[in-house]
Amino acid sequence: MGSRKRSAQQKKIAEFRAQLGGLDDLYGRERRSQDRLSERREAARRERGCERKQRYATRMDALEAIALCAEHGTRGLSCYRCEYCHGWHLTSHPRPQGR
Ligand SMILES: [Zn+2]
């Protein structure tokens, strides 16, 4: 008898936990949607900073391209190591080094 009483209590606890779990899931969903938002931002950043750009395998290649551009009148370019593809890209907006 005692065990039946206890199992009823356990059922109640389980229901209570399920409610809590439901709340957790609500917060979890909120977090996940924020994750998706930052993923989208990250993807846009990656597209701007990496995928749309010409990729150079080495710094030398990038510097050669910069020299070539300078010969054709495009000055003020610099190159940076890409954090996404680990190649090199050119930019007309130099970023602070040492990242
Ligand atoms: Zn890249």
Q: Is 98 left (phi over 0), alpha (psi -120 to 50) or beta?
A: left
Residue 67 Rama label (left phi>0; alpha psi -120 to 50; beta): alpha
pLDDT at 29: 78
Domain borders along the chain are 1-49, 53-99
* pLDDT by residue, tens only, the chain of 99 residues: 556 778 888 888 888 877 777 666 777 778 888 899 999 999 999 999 999 999 999 999 999 999 999 999 999 999 999 999 999 999 997 555 544
| Cα 70 to ligand 1 centre (Å) | 22
Ligand 1 centre distance from Cα of residue 90 (Å):
10
- What's the 59 CA to ligand 1 centre distance in angstroms? 13
pLDDT at residue number 3: 63
Euclidean distance between CA atoms 95 and 79, whole angstroms: 9
Q: pLDDT at position 1, please?
A: 57
Residue 46 Cα to ligand 1 middle (Å): 7
3 alpha carbon, distance to own chain's centre = 52
How far is ligand 1, taken at its centre, from the CA of residue 86, in Å?
6
Q: What is the pLDDT of residue 99?
A: 46
Going from the Cα of 74 to the center of ligand 1, the distance in angstroms, rounded, reads 21
Whether 81 contacts 55, CB under 8 Å: no
